[in-house]
Chains A and B, each alone.
Chain A
């Protein structure tokens, strides 16, 4: 059972929504410390809880609409999410990350968790990342590796 899991979320057929998956592909080619597992989480959903279960620590990577300049990278802890079940953004659509995390939190199943979000430039049908999103990959990898090494 892997100790630290890095889970990329997104859809490579929807422009910059594929960022989380692109990062996972890059990480697969790097040598990572023992006990670190890299997982392509697809578009998330409740399956995320199965992917998280049993990990000591989880790092999620996803395209996040934060209303910031495209390419902006931000780091969130669980407390940064809006955990209010009455918020419509948390209505239960199967895809996405928040409903699964919220349910995991309610059930007390979540290990310590960090989310790295990148503001996408283009989310529309079609494969491939925008130049802005592509240029966010190297700094994002640096952040992720620093985070991984801080636990190992």
Chain B
């Protein structure tokens, strides 16, 4: 008997799983991701450094700020540009806004329907209106952080090589701060909601990879660490991450020390548990998230804890920026070319950009490794281990568990594309 899940709902893009339910073997597992690296280099070749980040911002509609920030840092590394403390603080704030947007969307719109036993968020608009309105309020605040710091509601325009072309107004930052404080009741309700859910029990140890926590909870550090003891300088990422092809998938898989590794919220919590904000640590305790968990479904709890961490972190960043006083500094970019690489903890995990510039400051070669591509081998390894334990379940429940597992990673497998279709009747 074969169980085929031709397309998984509520993940971004298309995925297909085929399970042999007699032997418990996973026959086919296709998570089609957009092959960005080739496209990426073709897009950037010959471009001047000033134009690189604005192009990159369009690569992904969900993570455009993370791509922008990784891109700017890689260019700065390549060209030898120093950035100020204020720039780093504003970039962190922007990154928090994006992590919040992405995590809130995944938690409320993708995960909550699983736990409330409905097929999507739509039925909840009627049955749980307040829950949906709360989700939208939280998401709006996250969007507004990105808007105030990045200058535009969707794709940022103010971050540039060396800093910012325009700074947010102090009064807009104060207003954001006021709203971040006012959102605590919504956060509490969110924590209560997730604390009331039963998470499937499934344990599989893997290698957990994230940026280091030397400058706080993993976000922008220049070292990469793994639970198996890898410690690497980010520009050397290609030496520790092995990308490989498998016959059943068109996407490249990635491994480090063992057959697969995990990036994303759970990996970050493991690296940086002690650096979480005080409230985030309390929430972790309340929902039973520990740094030693090996249950991939706990990615959801890690996401929830990071939401609290980012709200608290955003308030502190705003305070630091305002106390220091906003100063628009001239950006100095040395003449000439060079090579550089940088990484950021994007909502879904570590995102790498690497560029080589010629003497005129134009791209000679470019590379990008996205979080979902790094997680693919691990998702598949999880599924292979999980399927045999679920064979006694009714087919519908088995399907739901597998879908929930894939969704726990929040895979983003349709970077760049959307097309509205209207059927005339």
Name A residues whose Cβ lies closer than 8 Å to a Cβ of B.
9-14, 17, 39-47, 49-51, 53, 62-67, 76, 80-82, 85, 89-98, 102-103, 106-107, 117, 120, 123, 125-127
* B418 A11 Cβ-Cβ under 8 A: yes
Min Cβ gap B285→A in Å is 30
> Known contacts being A65-B420, A107-B129, is A40 close to B154, with CB within 8 Å?
yes
From B147, which residue of chain A is reached at the shortest CB distance?
A50
A98→B123 CA distance, assembly (Å): 16
Interface residues of B in 112-130 (CB under 8 A from A): 120-123, 125-126, 129
B183 CB within 8 Å of chain A: no
A91→B14 CA distance, assembly (Å): 12
Q: Could you write out 22 A-B pairs with CB less than 8 Å apart?
A: A11-B58, A11-B416, A11-B417, A42-B64, A42-B154, A43-B417, A43-B418, A44-B61, A45-B105, A47-B139, A50-B136, A50-B140, A51-B154, A63-B420, A64-B419, A92-B122, A93-B12, A96-B418, A96-B419, A103-B132, A125-B416, A127-B55
B174 CB within 8 Å of chain A: no
Taking each of A39, A97, A125, A127, which has the highest tally of chain B beta carbons within 10 Å of its own beta carbon?
A125
Partner of A46, one of B123, B139, B419: B139
Min Cβ gap B402→A in Å is 17
Task: Please provide the 6 A-B residue pairs with the shortest distance between their CB atoms, ordered closest to farther.
Answer: A43-B61, A42-B154, A106-B125, A95-B418, A50-B140, A43-B418
From B104, which residue of chain A is reached at the shortest CB distance?
A46
* A94 B109 Cβ-Cβ under 8 A: yes
B353 CB within 8 Å of chain A: no
* A63 B62 Cβ-Cβ under 8 A: no
Given the complex, which residues of B lie within 8 Å of A62, measured CB to CB? Answer: 420
Partner of B62, one of A92, A94, A125: A94
Given the complex, which residues of A lie within 8 Å of B154, measured CB to CB? Answer: 39-42, 47, 51
A90→B422 CA distance, assembly (Å): 10
**What mask results when residues 86 to 127 of chain B are scored 1 for a CB within 8 Å of chain A, else 0?**
000000000000000100010001100000000011110110
Min Cβ gap A101→B in Å is 10
Given the complex, which residues of B lie within 8 Å of A85, measured CB to CB? Answer: 120, 122-123
- What's the interface size class on B, roughly? 35 or more
Given the complex, which residues of A lie within 8 Å of B133, measured CB to CB? Answer: 107
> Known contacts being A11-B61, A40-B154, A50-B153, is A117 close to B132, with CB within 8 Å?
no
B39 CB within 8 Å of chain A: yes
Interface residues of B in 405-425 (CB under 8 A from A): 414, 416-425
Interface residues of B in 373-425 (CB under 8 A from A): 414, 416-425
* A46 B109 Cβ-Cβ under 8 A: yes
B43 CB within 8 Å of chain A: yes
Interface residues of B in 47-69 (CB under 8 A from A): 55, 58-59, 61-62, 64
Partner of B416, one of A13, A44, A53, A89: A13
Given the complex, which residues of B lie within 8 Å of A125, measured CB to CB? Answer: 39, 416
> Known contacts being A40-B154, A42-B64, A47-B154, is A94 close to B105, with CB within 8 Å?
yes
* B155 A42 Cβ-Cβ under 8 A: yes
A103→B136 CA distance, assembly (Å): 11
* B417 A17 Cβ-Cβ under 8 A: yes
Partner of A50, one of B12, B110, B125, B143: B143
B152 CB within 8 Å of chain A: yes
Given the complex, which residues of B lie within 8 Å of A82, measured CB to CB? Answer: 422-423, 425
From A76, which residue of chain B is reached at the shortest CB distance?
B422
Taking each of A42, A81, A85, which has the highest tally of chain B beta carbons within 10 Å of its own beta carbon?
A42
* A50 B139 Cβ-Cβ under 8 A: yes
